[in-house]
Amino acid sequence: MQQIKERFPFSEIQKKGGLPYLPLRLTLIENSLDVYGLLDTGASVNVLPYSIGKRLGAVWEEQNTKLILSGNLAQFEARAIIISAKVGKFFPINLAFAWTKCENVPLILGQVNFFLEFDVCFFASEMFFEITRNN
C-alpha cells in the first residue's frame, strides 16, 4: 500500500489568524462544492453547516438519522449525512457529517471520521500541517 503525504499552509480565512483550514471538494450526487474545513482534533464528529448542505442539494427531511450535538451546537437540530470528499491529491473518501441547522459554525473536520481516515501532523510554529493517508 502506498502512503501519500501532502502539506498545507495555515490559512488566514475569516481573518482569525493562522488556523488549520483544509481545502477540499465535497460532492453529493451530481453537485460539487469547494470549501474549507477547520481541522479540530477536539471535535468528536465532522460538522456540516446547514447552508453548505443545501448548496450541495441535500434535503433536510430526507436525512432520517437524528443526532444530538454538545457544546455550543447542542441547541441546534442535526442529522447524519454521508458526503464524498476529495482532499488534495488523495483519492476521494466518504465523510460522515453531523449536518446542523446552525449557520454560524465553520465546516469542522473531527475525529469521526476525518481523523480516522487521515493522519495529521501540525507544525504550528512553521504555520503548516501535513496530511498522510495510505491509498
Q: Encode pLDDT of 99-111 as tens digits.
A: 999 989 999 999 9
Query: Stretch 35-53: mean pLDDT, rounded?
Result: 97
Comparing C-alpha atoms, which of 74, 77, 76, 75 is closest to residue 63? 77
Which stretches within 45-126 are classed as H helix?
50-55, 114-117
pLDDT at position 26 is 98
* Residues in a beta bridge with 110: none
Among 9, 19, 7, CA closest to 106: 19
Which residue in this structure is represented by grid cell 493562522?
A: 18
CA atoms within a 13 Å half-sphere pointing along the CA-CB vector of 115: 17
The CATH fold of domain 3-11+22-134: Cathepsin D, subunit A; domain 1 (2.40.70)
How far is it, in rounded angstroms, from Cα 67 to Cα 65? Answer: 7
